[in-house]
Structure 1
Amino acid sequence: MSQFKISPTKATLNKLRWPLRLTRLGMVAERVTRAFWPVWTVCLAVLAALMLGLHDRLSSEVFWGIAVVSGLAMIWFVWSGIRQFYWPSAIEASARLDATLPGQPLAALADHQAIGANDEASRAVWKAHLSRMREATRAAHAVQPDLRVSRNDPFGLRYMAVLAFIVAVSFGSIWRIASVTELAVGGQALATGPSWEGWVEPPTYTGKPSLYLNDIAEGPLLLPKGSLITVHLYGEVGSLAVSETVSGRNEVQSDNTELAEVFTVETGGTLSVEGSGGRSWQVSVIADKPPSIEFDGDMDVAASGEMRQPFAVTDDYGVVGGQAEITLDLGAVDRRYGLAIDPDPREAIVLDLPMTISGDRGEFSETLVENLSLHPWSGLPVRIVLRAEDALGQNGKSEPLEIALPGRRFFDPLARSVIEGRRDLLWATENAPRVAQVLRAVTHRPEDFVRSTSAYLMLRVAIRRLEAGVDAGLSDESKEEIATALWDIAVLLEDGNLSDALERMHRAQDRLSQAMREGASDAEIAGLMQELREATQDYLRQLAQNPREGGDQQQADSRNMQQLTEQDLQDMMDRIQELMEQGRMEEAQELLDQLAEMMENMQVTEGAPNGEPGGEGEQAMQGLEETLRGQQGLSDDAFRDLQEQFNPGAQAGQSDENEGRNGGEGRGQSHEGQGGQGSGDGELQGDGQSGGQERSLAERQRELRESLRQQQNGLPGAGTPEGDAARGALDQAGRAMDGAEEALRNNDLAEALDNQAEAMEALREGMRQLGEALAQQNSENQGQQGQVSGEGQARDPLGRNAGARGNPGTNEGMLQGADVYRRARELLNELRDRAADQTRPKPEIEYLKRLLDRF
């Protein structure tokens, strides 16, 4: 029996049989896809259109036109595909597979040795080569086909067809394709007899499903108003007809000469398909009721003037939007003073109501939140009407709410006068002369009640602009700008830039007391109570840092002093708020007065070496504080002179905005300080000459520089890193003062202000470093800085232990708290607001921009 031996090359090729077959099939798929992709694209598009029933909405002419075009396109694409397609051969499949292998081993195995066949060594090399090639074929795998045809279909038409087909499968019906056969007269319908199809499509906003009339038996049919009914008739002409009385027209009857009958349900009535296999329904209409909207509770008003009004909305299918319309109740307005004349025409306030984002809009509750403090009707009687609209365009409205339009409350008398003037100006332009006259009257003696120099100057500028507008004819734009300025002035007068914590606390107490007397809302009282808590904490922190501010009683016996813990203070404020919430305003006011009295009587006494008040370090800090206050006052005076310098028509130190640079011309701010210190508090001074010999700004700057030089001699803390840093900062402050003096002598006020700002910053840094040095020194020598009420350890007004550096309960610097950053943000915002005011002189704006660039 003979035996046949298969060569290694053939055995290798047998192992590659399936990779070669699969690669060849992949090549077939590639060529089919590239040749026939337009064919299946057209097929999917046509199927999608038929499944969605688009042919039912077309006339027979349009339908058959599209059908012919689609058929011709299909024939063309099939013929083109056949021409492009050719079957891949086994050699092409082998070449593709071989191209994916290193060294193309399949081609190498098919080669024959051409040279050296008789040489033993050459044959050995050839066998080794074939062995390596057979080894390389073990990594052979079928090549994946490349089915991409993006080069042939740059617009992605195939993807559009697939997407349309997916939509048709999801929302269409494959049974609609069968209706195509009924479109041709003499088709299957003629053979099987007349037939019909009908659908009811309720309005989309109702959320109700479509109905197939063929599946609904005769009888009552309940449909939403606006439902769309479509009925298709097939078969011999005249064999079927549609009659209906639901579309609002007279009874209509149509035969099947029309491919489709489409109408909308407007009223109840009958719907019939008459003829063989026809049906009849008695249609009742579900009326779409208008939405209902109403106020859902009382309005809450915050201290800032923000109002929060809850409301509730109901509708049978859901609303699409809503508005709140606010109109002036002119009959309820107290027509006196600036409101006596007829108001200028002003449109009603229209606010969009918030709609629920998630959930059912058929029934929900929301809250309208808005702050209308800036509106001219703020504080005046108004009517608020809420409106809601549904998808059908129907509107529902609430009963009117008659209230005084909420707005921010002002407690400062001058701020109230400014706001009243602003209201009168916006009420009617005819009030402008009266407003200017009233504002001049209330600022006649500013030293009695005006706290802020800046607010006073801004108010004088606003008065001048208003009077100029009256003379030249006040335009609407100028009126709005002046009204905006008056609002900013009132806010500045109300809030102020109060640097003294005790005054802030008194202001908060006064505001809370006035709100209780005037019957403010709970939300507003809660906001004012929180303001009092914050102001009280600020005062306690300042009192702990500056113990001597407690008053002359700091030498009293500690046994006669009252100890108040932080918990006691918190409990007392909680009790005040509880009494206010219960409506017991008299008891709350009495307790508030007791709290104010106790806070004023608080002080922290501070010991010194050998029992003498005021050690060397304390005296140095006092001197630096006085120098800083003097520099601040001098900088304020220089800034006011810069304003007056560019005020047209103003004399030296005198202008309409700020009269009396030397105090002898009128009722303005005395620019020059006394004793070389200046007016650092920023308050308005009285009439008359400033005490002592009048000195120029440059001379006052030189005196401050000399005072600082004397304080630098013998400064404590020498040899420590903090002490050396303090000396370096004070040296920098001295150089900045020298530059400021030179600039003042050259009448370069802008440059002087820059140098003065640098000097004040360096002084603050020097004081901080000196405080660190003193605290470190006292910690090493004594372990504590002072005593509270004669006890063995320093305590703040709440009884808390002072840290090693004299701060309550901590060794961290008091300048590292959040209030410092808040204050810094406020100052930056103020600088930005002033720099954006184009009515200010150009040099002032440039100076403000330089400050912003620096800080």
Structure 2
Amino acid sequence: MVEPQNRDPGPDISRSLARKVRLSTVALFFERLWPRLWLLIGVALVFVMLSFLGIWPYLDPHPHKILLVAFAAAAVAAVVYAVRVPWPTREDAIRRIERRSGVPHRPATSYEDTLTSGAQNATTSAIWQAHRERLARAISRLRVGHPAPRTDRFDPWAVRGLLLVMFVPIAVLATGSLSDRLAAAFRFGTAESGPPARVDAWVTPPPYTALPPVLLADGSQQNADDAKDRIKFFEVPDRSLLTLRGVGFGADGVALEVLTDGATAPVIVPPEKSKKGDTSSVSETRYEIRKSARVRALSGTRELGLWTFDVIPDALPKIALTKEITGTPRGSMRVFYKAEDDYGLQSAEVKVRKAPPKPVDATKSWAQPPPLTGPRLPLERPPVLSLKIPRPGAKTVDTSALLDIGEHPWAGQRVQLWLEATDVGGQVGRSEPIEIVLPSRRFKNPLARALVEQRRYLAEDSRNRPKVVRALDALTMEPQGFITDDGVYLGLRAIYHRLDRQETRSAMNESIAELWQIALKVEDGALSQAERALKDAQDRLSDAIEKGDDKEIQDAMADLKKRLNDYLNEMQKNAEKENPSGDQQQGDQNQELGQQDLDQMMKDLEKSAREGSRDDAEKMLSELRELMDRLQASNSPEARAQQQRAQQMMKKLNELSDLTGKQQQLMDDTYGQQRRQEGQGGSQDDPNGQGSPKTGKGKQGQQGQGRQQGGQGDMDADQEGGGQQGQGQQGSQGNSAGRQQHGKGSLQDRQAQLRNELDKLKKDLEEMGAGDPDKLGNAQDAMGRAEDALKQNDLAEAADQQGQALEQMRQSAQQMAEQMQKNAQQRLGRGGNSPRDPMGRPQRAQGPDLGTSVKVPDAIDAQRAREILEELRKRSGESLRPQDELEYIDRLLKRF
């Protein structure tokens, strides 16, 4: 019976019991700790609720500190009380298991008992083993169970539940930043008797952007702690000013914490210092935003706002030439340019610098002048030419400007030129530089050319002064014969003595300016003074238009009219002096066109200036300057010679037009005769007067037509024809009427006469170097073939050859007109461009009207014009109309 005494239920029961004891120990510890933790939780809930209610800013510093210390002491006591919880013993854990499981006879405790006596007795051992097995089965039914702290025994009034019920609505209804309300418990002395705390923040874009301010915080809404308010994102222009204003934040005020892109640490921007004697609680902080950044508004450690800014950079203005720069004989240049900027343009300029000299060929170095030596005065600054912006602040400008560069010493030299545009923000954009020769005024008088040459030497290098002094001395040594004006002589001598005695920059600049004025006087006489006065009047009117002063505009306009009349009178006097024979044709079309443009331009300019249309007025002023240059250039001997040649070409072109018209009429008569023959099944009347061998009518026809050429009518021819009168009238009644109206003689004779006239005109045009000899020759050959066909009574072939001759003549006339128009563009008004109708076709500016142009009335009633424009606008909005018609209406509206 020994074996039953040594039997053991196994280690599984021991391990299971040990695990349950450990879990019971932890559960029992939590049951003892939880009621003590509720004391700490209760203290924390009371502190948080008071903070959410916002009582801390309203407490005086002393009570504030006492209450805060009391909360701290209570929290420390609660922590100490909770920490002093005793750890449960094994027996306490086993007893908790037995109580929670409800198994009788305490099996866990009994299982740990040992047999002390009777172990050698088999019966006793068997009974003990059976007892152990029964306990093992009971232990397997034991359960640890969930912890049950029974806090109600420590809080019979359920104060903890009341705290939770109060905390939830307080936390939900609290406004603003909850963390800031909690942090307010540790800020002392912020409560003041003044207004409540308020935060205002806004971003002001730079004034030149014309953008409205951006409101960040208006004080009525405090920044919440939710995600939407914490990720506010704004796009602002560069150089925007962020302003943060706080009221009621005490001595700390408000500050900004700025973390820019690429920075490793934020930068604190402190508030501005208040003025002496300022006791207000207002604090302001300003920061200029130059980079994208995250910005926090702070008062001490309290966050008042958080914003993220993305900076929109201010792009550089763009400017470029749209066409090639063109010059005028008077030394002006037309600049076509386009500029644009994102916020607006302020000004534009043309800048130049001297082009680097080209390398000298070593084989030609012997021909180069010796280099200048010795000290040199500082060089003058290069010219800066202003380009007027039609509307300051405009974002896009596409226009042109006429600049007077002829007076500058650099005129006629090769330079590098570029355009610069300045936007409203002060940024400068540049175009690609180009290399050109600056336009210069062309002088005809030898003395004027010599003075301008010496002036250029003096402006290029001050070391040329001795050379210029010798040249002026030589020019004035014996003035008889080429210096007729005493003022010119005295002026040159004064410049000579000044340069000979003074070596200063001011003396040289005065001499350069006076040499130009003297050269103008030598070239134009009194016209140069009138021209200077006219330019000054134009500048005064331009300034008055820019200022917008009506009284000043009226005065400047009256002065401009007076100066313009003086200028035209002087120009007329010069023309009469240079051309005393009076060969100048007053009816010259170019001159008439310029005068008409001038009169109309002055009316339009006065109207635009009176109505305040600055853009139109500035444009007309520019056109007036250009027209003045062309009018004066047209009065030069070369221009008058060109005008006379143009008149001669116009005369020949008119003769060619007349020949074309006669050929057209002859072809019409030929077609008419051919139709009559076809209608009668063969004509009894020979149009050429040759007659038929059977009827013998040719002789009678020839006699009748011969008398027509001698001044007699068809009636005499018919009377001479005797009995054939009725027959002749029947076959040629309509043709006789045509001959009486359109020409004399037969169709063959008329064709021969036209061929002779064309031959003479062709020779005249060849002597002048105008026209197209090949086309005129082809036309002449076609006329000859038509004459032969008429002789053979082959009207169909004759008409075909006449059509070919007519086409060749029209082509030659059109080519000659285009050549004349191209040569005359510089003398035409309003820019010298050939006008075009709304369909894009060239209008007739020179040459004959060949029936292909559109005739437009010269004047139209104002009321009728308004009605037409209203109808055009109405039709342009009708999308169902054909596309070609809509495009035509659009071109009409743009033109008129």
Question: Does TM-score exceed 0.5, indicating one fold?
Answer: no
Larger Rg: 2
Normalised by the length of structure 1, the TM-score is 0.34
